[in-house]
């Protein structure tokens, strides 16, 4: 009985460690800006998809939740922190909807079954990613008003980079999924 209890505790520690590594990877991806047109891009949404695919939906949600919790506590894990503020104040600002959308994107990226059909995989990952923008635009509209050009401000500048990241994830999905067997 003690042996089974020890195994369960080891499994929990292993998952906590994996979630911590994933949240660190996500934080690093938020800080690196790559030149892209029309705006520089981070690899954050790619890492969200990566976490969902590699970790599965349960551990993926736990990892994204840990990342959000770290940011809410004031750790400078979000893009633009600490320069633009930290903690709950930053979290509830213009990017909150996008950050909440990370949870839904990781859920779907982890829940989907992937095969050798690149088009199907691309569509699945596009669907998962769309929730980042749906939640982001909805929050942005609520925050600054629906009379503003919300889509033009909150999505349009990022779509080309987003398609690029989804394409990378699509091409790498088989390799990323192999990590799930190790975890």
pLDDT for 73 equals 96
In the predicted model, is pLDDT for residue 96 greater than 80? yes
With contact defined as beta carbons under 8 Å apart, do 131 and 100 qualify? no
d(CA 59, CA 46): 17
Q: What is the DSSP string of 16-55?
A: HHHHHHHHHHHHHHHH--B--SSS-B-SHHHHHHHHHHHH
pLDDT for 67 equals 98
* Ranges of each domain in the chain: 2-182
Looking at the structure, give the CATH architecture of the domain made up of residues 2-182. Answer: Orthogonal Bundle (1.10)
**Residue 34 β-bridge partners:** 41
- Give the model confidence (pLDDT) of 50-93 as tens digits: 999 999 999 999 999 999 999 999 999 999 888 888 899 999 99
Q: Which residues contact 123 (CB under 8 A, 6 or more apart)?
A: none
pLDDT for 75 equals 96
Predicted TM-score of the model (pTM): 0.93
With contact defined as beta carbons under 8 Å apart, do 71 and 81 qualify? yes
- In degrees, to the nearest 5, what angle opens at C-alpha 161 toward C-alphas 53 and 138? 80
- Give the model confidence (pLDDT) of 116-165 as tens digits: 999 999 999 999 999 999 999 999 999 999 999 999 989 999 999 999 99
With contact defined as beta carbons under 8 Å apart, do 27 and 77 qualify? yes
For the purposes of burial, counting CB atoms within 10 Å of the CB of 93, is it exposed (0-12), middle (13-18) or buried (19 or more)? middle
pLDDT for 3 equals 72
d(CA 49, CA 45): 6
**Residue 41 β-bridge partners:** 34
């Amino acid at each position: 009985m003690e042996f089974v209890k020890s195994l369960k505790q080891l499994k929990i520690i292993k998952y906590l460690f994996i979630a911590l590594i994933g949240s660190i990877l996500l934080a690093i991806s938020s800080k690196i800006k790559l030149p892209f047109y029309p705006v520089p891009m981070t690899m954050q949404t790619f890492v969200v998809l990566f976490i969902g695919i590699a970790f599965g939906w349960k551990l993926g949600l736990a990892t994204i939740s840990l990342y959000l919790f770290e940011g809410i506590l004031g750790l400078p894990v979000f893009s633009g922190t600490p320069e633009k503020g930290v903690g709950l104040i930053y979290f509830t600002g213009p990017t909150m909807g996008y950050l909440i959308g990370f949870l839904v994107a990781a859920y779907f990226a982890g829940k989907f079954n992937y095969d050798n059909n690149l088009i199907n995989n691309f569509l699945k990952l596009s669907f998962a990613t769309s929730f980042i923008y749906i939640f982001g635009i909805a929050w942005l509209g609520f925050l600054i008003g629906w009379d503003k050009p919300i889509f033009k401000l909150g999505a349009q500048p990022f779509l080309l980079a987003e398609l690029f990241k989804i394409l990378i994830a699509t091409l790498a999905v088989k390799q990323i999924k192999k990590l799930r067997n190790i975890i």
